[in-house]
Amino acid sequence: MAKVINHRGFRIVTLEPDDILADCCREGDIALVEEEDGWWTHFVGPDGETDSYDTAFESYNKALWTAKAAAEFSAE
């Protein structure tokens, strides 16, 4: 089951391996997804499309702190 952190009015959703992004996230969410090459940070758009950084982060903590920084920047 996905875990949700609320930060500056944004939901940061950490998905478990069996979670489906479209089922757990909505527009404006930031999704953290672990894949073989690391942790990906996905920004969810209005139609469920996602935009991501060019590379995965090596750890969950780096992906989380990046998501929090993006939420703070967007909140301004």
How sure is the predictor about 76, in pLDDT bands with cuts at 50, 70 and 90? low
Please tell me whether residue 62 adopts helix, strand or coil conformation.
helix
Q: Is pLDDT at 3 greater than 90 in this prediction? A: yes
pTM over 0.85: yes
Q: For 33-71, how does the pLDDT look when each residue is reduced to its tens digit (9 = 90+)?
A: 999 999 999 999 999 999 999 999 999 999 999 999 999
User: 34: number of CA atoms within 13 Å, CB side?
Assistant: 11
Nearest one of 70, 68, 25 to 33, comparing CA atoms: 25
How sure is the predictor about 74, in pLDDT bands with cuts at 50, 70 and 90? confident
Q: Are 6 and 71 in contact (CB under 8 A)?
A: no
d(CA 68, CA 11): 10
Structural domain boundaries of the chain?
3-75
How many angstroms separate the first and last alpha carbons of the chain?
31
